[in-house]
Structure 1
């Protein structure tokens, strides 16, 4: 069973790489990167501080700060005053940022529909269930490990 789990983990990494490349291609068709797309998406519903956006994405604050500055420089996002903390402004989408995000999201939805052709919905649901259980188990073990 451990061998099968190791193979599943390798498959997940391979799938993540392939999907990342696909996401890059989709985002680049609108002049963006997948990382910028993720930042646009994470602040689309509610403006976030850079640190808050980084936490939601599970990445370093410094990387999100660089991306946020780029998005602001391109007019796709803007920093707004944060009523809760003057030193940490909120990153919000501009109308141009909302348009670009809508376009990228529509392209991604079409790509997902295309990928799903021929894949039984029950198999997709079972894979999602298994992956969620695997992630929950990893998180549970991290929480039990000191410093983890």
Structure 2
């Protein structure tokens, strides 16, 4: 069983690398990077502090701050006062940022249609379910390791 899990992990890493490379191309077609795309996407749901956006993305706050500053410089996002914490402004999309995100998302959706054309919806759902179970197990393992 552990050998099969090791092979699955290797497959996930390979898929992630391929999808990241494809994502860079999708974002580049709109003059952006995948890092900018991810940050635009995460703050499109709700305004977030840089620290909270970094936690949601699972990456270092300093890297997110650099990308956020780039987005602000290009008028794709803006910093606004945070009523809960004066020293941590909220990053929000500008109208141009929202339009840019929509264009990138439309490109990605078209590619997803092609990629999934010959894969049954039930197979995609089963793969997602398995990955979520694995993610939950990793979280559980990390919690136990931290406790013990």
Pairwise TM-score range, normalised by the shorter structure:
over 0.9
How far residue 146 of structure 1 moved from its aligned partner, in angstroms, is 2.1
Match of 2:75 in 1: 75
How far residue 83 of structure 1 moved from its aligned partner, in angstroms, is 1.2
Task: Please give the per-residue CA displacement for 1:82-102, whole angstroms capped at 9, x wherever unaligned.
Answer: 111111111010000000000
Match of 2:139 in 1: 139
User: Normalization by structure 2: what TM-score?
Assistant: 0.97
Report the 3-state secondary structure (helix = DSSP H, G, I; strand = E; otherwise coil) of the residue aligned with 2:146: coil
Match of 2:110 in 1: 110
Match of 1:90 in 2: 90
- Quote the Cα distance in structure 2 between the aligned partners of 1:57 and 1:147: 24
- Quote the Cα distance in structure 2 between the aligned partners of 1:122 and 1:43: 30
Note the aligned Cα RMSD (angstroms): 1.1
- Quote the Cα distance in structure 1 between the aligned partners of 2:118 and 2:140: 35
Task: Please give the per-residue CA displacement for 1:65-97, whole angstroms capped at 9, x wherever unaligned.
Answer: 000000000010011111111111110100000
Divergent runs of 4+, >4 A: none
**Structure 2: gaps (5+ residues):** none
Aligned residue-pair number: 148
Task: Please give the per-residue CA displacement for 1:29-48, whole angstroms capped at 9, x wherever unaligned.
Answer: 00000110000011112111
**Structure 1: gaps (5+ residues):** none
Task: Identify which range, 63-72 or 121-130, moves more after superposition.
Answer: 121-130
